[in-house]
Structures are given as C-alpha cells and as structure tokens.
Amino acid sequence: MRLFLALGAALAATAPLAAQTPAPNWFLEGRGGAVVPTFDIADVAKTGGSFGATVGYRLAPRWALMGEFDYGFHKDKATGAADIKTLHYIVKLGYSLTGPREQGWEAVVNLGAGAVGFDVDGAPKTNTYFAINAGAKLTYNFNRNVAFVLSPQGDIAFSKKAELTTNNAWVWPLTAGLRVSF
C-alpha cells in the first residue's frame, strides 16, 4: 500500500513539470504541389509544379510569423515550349483559428506581403513585383514536433502590363508537405 501511495505522490509531483515544458516556438516546412495562375496571367501560363519552404516562429500560442518561399515552373500557353518560373518571397502573419494542438488538426489563416518574380525564357531579366498574400495552413500534428501540412495560398503580384500582359498576376501555390517544430 505504501508503495502505491509513493508512486501516486511521485506521479502527482511530476505531472506539473511535464505541463510546464514549453511548446516548440520555431518550425520549418518543406512542401511540394502545384502553382495555378488565374485571371489574365492564365492566358499566358499553364498550371505547373511547385515546391516551397517556410521558416516560422510562434509569437504567442495563436500567432505565428512566417517567411515563405515558393518556386513554380510553368509552360507558356501558346506553344508549351517556353519555361516560365515564378519565385514567391512572402513574409506573413498567421492566426490559429483552432489554437495550437499537440495532436490532431490545426487551422491557421494568414496574410502577408513580399514579392513575386517572373523569369521567362528568352526575356532579358526576371521581372519582380510587389505582392500581397492570403491563405491558410491546415496541419495534422502527429505530435508536438512533426506535422503534415496543407498550404493553399494566393499571391497577387502588381505587375506591369507592358512586361507581363497584365497589371495584377494572380498565382496560387497549392502545396502539401511536412513541418518540423523545435
């Protein structure tokens, strides 16, 4: 009986210590998927493949600051021969709708700004434009350090019509991958 009381007291004493272990603040993501041009830019570029990475820091339990890069590769719509690469550099602030989870689903919405570059085969330079971003991060947390992430994002680049045939290029990186938190 004394043994059970001693074990119970030991477990009761260590439970608060486990609850005090801070959650990891930093995270890295690696993702792959598609990048979809819409509106006027869709007349020029086809949907293509994409890969991306995110470095994030959890500012508070529901808030995260993220730096994100996505690289998309497209073919031109007219001939299917010219390569068009899109480079997305976005800094964003995310808010967790569900609150952080050690296990299970978490939903985050995000807004940000940065730049999107368009590198077209045969063009003398990469044209880079100011861009805004809106999107979400849907994660399934296997534990507090590893998660599967779905990242639907929308980037609007404020381009020059003379250079890109439109003054607002809407490009949507839709990716999935893994997140590691530390």
The 10s digit of each residue's pLDDT in 56-85 is 999 999 999 999 999 999 999 999 989 999
Residue 29 CA to residue 52 CA, distance in Å, equals 8
Does a structural domain hold residue 8? no
| Number of domains present in the structure of the chain | 1
Entry field: residues in the chain:
182
User: Domain range spanning residue 51?
Assistant: 25-181
Look up the pTM and report it. 0.84
Does a structural domain hold residue 13? no
pLDDT digit string, tens, across residues 131-175: 999 999 999 999 999 999 999 999 999 999 999 889 999 999 999
Q: Let me know: does 172 contact 154? Beta carbons within 8 Å.
A: yes
Q: Let me know: does 41 contact 166? Beta carbons within 8 Å.
A: yes
pLDDT digit string, tens, across residues 28-41: 999 999 999 999 99
In this structure, how many other beta carbons lie within 10 angstroms of the beta carbon of residue 68? 26
Q: Let me know: does 84 contact 120? Beta carbons within 8 Å.
A: yes
Q: Let me know: does 53 contact 72? Beta carbons within 8 Å.
A: no
Does a structural domain hold residue 42? yes
Sign of CA dihedral 42, 43, 44, 49: positive
* CATH code, 91: 2.40.160.20
Does a structural domain hold residue 123? yes
